[in-house]
Amino acid sequence: MRFKRNAYTGRLGKLNFTMEQYNMTIRLSKAGKMPCRSWSLQALTTCAGSVGTNGKLVDACKGCYATQGNYRFPNVKQPRESNQKDWKRTDWVADMVAELDNDRYFRWFDSGDVYSLKLAEKILAVMVATPWVKHWLPTRMHKFVKFHAVFAAMEALPNVVVRYSSDSVTGEVVAGRNTSTIIPASRQYYGSLTVCEASTREGKCDRCRACWNKAVPVIAYPAHGKTMLKLINLKEVA
């Protein structure tokens, strides 16, 4: 193992643990396309940023992949629902750090979002304590001022990329930040947009790690799924 003891000092207080205290309750998942594991929550119910000022889902969240397909099955939902309670444990940060001992890349929120400031602070603690792991955290919670300081602290770490998710399905981005957006699958994009290579590899990342790269400002995901494609067609006709 990488260590026998670790500590984090910050707003969360001091967390000390040994491997003997390690409580195996962490529930991680691995999507078929991803080169790494992920810690996730249920989609939409933890996604306050998915709702626009009109009280309706923003375009990018309509037809969300994490509400369809395998994500609908009870055995897939169960660990995400458990995670929503589990992160509140006192030992959660210590357990996460121990669990990531052999990981090199990690994604936060294959589904769901960092809906709680206290959760965001705990995730920051995990990031600080695992400098050997490259962390990628996509989020729409940047819309809420109370998250700005903790996201800034995450972004200051050399091993972390926080990507502010755009609400657009036609390529608009969150200016001035590492960000991601959705683009019509039928259109070619150039310039500052780095198109996700998984769209040309049967949905698999393969060796690409652009999402974890601070030097890549914008990741563009080609739209897929009937609901999303229908929405884009309606927008383009309008």
Residue 21, pLDDT > 60, answer no
Q: Name the residue type at position 156.
A: A
Query: Which SS3 state, helix, strand or coil, does residue 126 take?
Result: helix
* 233 pLDDT tier (thresholds 50, 70, 90): low
In this predicted structure, the answer to whether residue 23 has a pLDDT above a threshold of 70 is no
> What residue ranges do the domains of the chain occupy?
27-237
Kindly report, residue by residue over 72-112, the tens digit of the pLDDT. 667 777 888 899 999 999 999 999 999 999 999 999 999 99
Instruction: Give the pLDDT score at 235.
Output: 62
Task: State the Cα–Cα distance between residues 186 and 170, nearest whole angstrom.
Answer: 11
Instruction: Say how far residue 225 (Cα) sits from the centre of its chain.
Output: 20
Judged on CB neighbours under 10 Å (0-12, 13-18, 19+), 136 is buried
Average pLDDT of span 216-228: 83
Contact between residue 41 and residue 83 where contact means Cβ atoms under 8 Å apart: yes
* 58: its two tokens: 């923003």
